[in-house]
Amino acid sequence: MNKSANTLIQQTQKFRKTTGFYKRSLDKAIYKYHLSRRLKVIINSVIIAFPALLQFIFFSDIKYLVSFLICISFLLSFFFLFRLRLMLTFPFVVISFAFSIYIALYSQSPGATAIMAIFNTKLEAIIGFLKSPRILAGLIVLSIILLGYIRLVLMGSRPGEEKELPYLRARRYVLFIMLAASICLYVPVRSHLNTTYPFSIIYNSTSYVKILARMEKVSEREYIFKGTLDSNFRQKTGTFILILGESSRRANWSLYGYRRNTNVFLKGVMSERPRNFILLKDYLSTAQTTYPNMMTIFSLLPSKNFAEIPDYPSFTRIMKRVSFRTYFISTYTNIFSNFISADKNIIVDSKDDLSLLPEIREVLEDRQDARKLIIVHLRDSHLAFSGYEYTYEDYVSPTNKPMVDKYDNSIIHTGEFLKGLTAQVLGSSEPVFAWYMPDHGENLNDFNDGNYGHGTSGFTRYELELPSIMFFNDAFIAANPEIRRVSKNSGFRTSHSNVSNTFLGLSGIYPDEYRGDLDLSSQDFEEGEPYIIDENLFPIRYSKAKIQ
């Protein structure tokens, strides 16, 4: 009994000794090296304002330096005057570090398109983006920096030490002057600082909210058709299908000369029925990310007039108003569903685009409505969405570039979907027209810069140059001879700005907003220079944009 008691005592003493060692080590790590409270405030203020200084270093524009000076002056005076706890600023510090690392990685500031993506991107897409090599490296650096910040700034003072800051009470008027000066300096130049940190975050967020509010207002307002209809419109029947892809770039389509046979499913059908297909030779995206492109695709206004797009109805709403039954079919919801304004939204619980084919077939075979418009939104080649369960173990022979292999497989899989859809289109007895285009392309470390994905750096041709293909059955050719004019114009440079007007032109609907010069089926069609939307939603003439 005594022996057991002695053993228990020895174990307890050993445990206390071990825990005491760790407690002393932790206490030393936390409190041995610590900064004065005043220095912590200065460091914290500089960290929060640092992205503006980094913008000045990268972009050499004086407005960024002005923004940094305004912020640092405001923060220092505010912290010292109102004794703000540093822990409360931690979210702003995280945003500052993330913003700075983004600039360092991509030599570009996050703009309004980034805000749109943050608010609307699904979790699986976010995870896919975070798993890209460059972002992973950035996350590691961010974690290390945050740990250092927590150790040196948020920790390091023993409990009870320096509870209050030495606020220079005898010089409080200096702090008030600094605070007032920073506000007075900002007010007259605020319109010039909308693209500088931190004001760009506020500006871009409010811009995004305003865009959604304007589109919501248009969708709630009753649309009254004003315009003309084709003389044969009453006799016309049939179905139009718009297939929206994701992140598929022209450079990896074998139909455009890619070394791998990524369009194996399409080539066979196209060789058998060449008159039923039109391949657009030089089709361009109007932005790097989904949401500006979606707005341009569904609007009759060209991307040049992007700022006005939210105030006008989508072409789907116009066709819906003029006796077309409209459908939206996808495996995931779309934030612009009100803007698209379909009669029926069909969301299939699946991760495979092939699962949409039965739904499309059902709509095509439904004879209840003489005129139909079907919008199909695919997962396609988005890196975060491309984890398909392939029919075969692998479509392509694996190489030492697994990301490229996976991407090429997704294109082949989309080809399998398009082959299934062409069978439905060509086999229909009613006139059917379908047009496929992705929203934008994708970067695959093409310049050995670690750039995977889209919209995170400057414009690249791999994001902007897209594949686009139309297919239609013989009944549509017979009922719509103007399709030959589309074929004739297929060699010209076209873009998302041509989509809405071409659909309306082929369907014989000409609202007041209709633009014949943007309609590929119109005799008034003109090859105009497209505009591309930058990260801050500003249109840039294609020839003036810096494209890598």
pLDDT in tens, 448-463: 877 777 767 788 999 9
Q: What is the mean pLDDT of the chain?
A: 84
Q: Which two tokens stand for residue 399?
A: 């190489």
Q: At 424, which helix (H) or strand (E)?
A: helix 402-427
* Nearest CA-CA partner of 89 in 154, 142, 178: 154
Locate CATH 3.40.720.10 in the chain.
239-544
CA 173 to CA 80: how far, in whole Å?
Answer: 12
Q: Which of 309, 293, 278 is nearest to 463 (CA)?
A: 293
545 has a pLDDT exceeding 80: yes
Half-sphere exposure of 445 (CA within 13 A, CB side): 11
- For residue 300, with 0-12 CB atoms within 10 Å meaning exposed, 13-18 middle and 19 or more buried, which class applies? buried
Residues 216-244, mean pLDDT to the nearest whole number: 89
Interstrand relation of 432-438 and 493-495 (parallel, antiparallel or unpaired): unpaired
Which of 130-139, 171-180, 225-234, 330-339 has maximum average pLDDT?
225-234
Lowest mean pLDDT among 130-139, 156-165, 349-358, 503-512: 156-165
- The number of residues making up the chain comes to 548
Q: What pLDDT score does 15 carry?
A: 59
Measured CA to CA, the distance from residue 416 to residue 373 in angstroms comes to 22
Q: Which two three-digit tokens encode residue 506?
A: 């082929």
Helix (H) or strand (E) segment spanning residue 372: strand 371-377
Of residues 414 and 10, more confidence is placed in 414
Distance CA 277, CA 430 (A): 17
88 vs 84: CA distance, rounded Å: 8
Please report which confidence band the pLDDT of residue 101 belongs to, taking 50, 70 and 90 as the band edges: confident
- In this prediction, what percent of the chain has a pLDDT beyond 70? 85
Q: Which CATH number fits domain 239-544: 3.40.1280.10, 3.40.50.720, 3.40.50.1980, 3.40.720.10?
A: 3.40.720.10
SS3 408: helix
**Amino acid occupying residue 180:** A
Kindly report, residue by residue over 367-410, the tens digit of the pLDDT: 888 899 999 999 888 765 555 454 445 567 778 887 888 888 88
pLDDT for 390: 47
What's the pLDDT at 4? Answer: 63
**Please, which residues bridge with residue 277 across strands?**
471
Helices (H) and strands (E) in the chain, counts: 19, 16
In whole angstroms, what is the distance from residue 43 CA to residue 97 CA?
A: 13
If you average pLDDT over residues 337-350, what whole number do you get? 85
Confidence of residue 8 (pLDDT cuts 50, 70, 90): low
Find out whether 239 and 430 touch, Cβ atoms under 8 Å: yes
Q: CA torsion, points 207, 210, 212, 214, in degrees to nearest 10? A: -140
Residue 478, CA distances (Å) to 57, 305, 519 in order: 62, 35, 20
pLDDT surpassing 90 at residue 430: yes
Task: Report the pLDDT value the prediction gives residue 5, as an integer from 0 to 100.
Answer: 59
Residue 22, pLDDT above cutoff 60 = no
| Separation CA 469–CA 175 (nearest Å) | 64
- Res 523: pLDDT: 94
Reported as a single tens digit per residue, the pLDDT across 408-418 is: 888 998 999 99
pLDDT value of residue 161: 45
| 167 pLDDT tier (thresholds 50, 70, 90) | very low
Quote the pLDDT of residue 195: 86
- Predicted confidence at residue 170, as pLDDT, reads 47
Pairwise CA distance, residues 134 & 405, whole Å: 19
Angle at alpha carbon of residue 368, lines to 365 and 374, rounded to 5°: 60
Decide: helix, strand or coil at residue 302: coil
Q: Is the pLDDT of residue 547 over 80?
A: yes
Tokens of 180: 């007032």
525: tokens are: 């069609």
Q: What is the DSSP string of 425-449?
A: HHH-SS-EEEEEEES---EESTTSS
- Is the pLDDT at 359 greater than 90, yes or no? yes
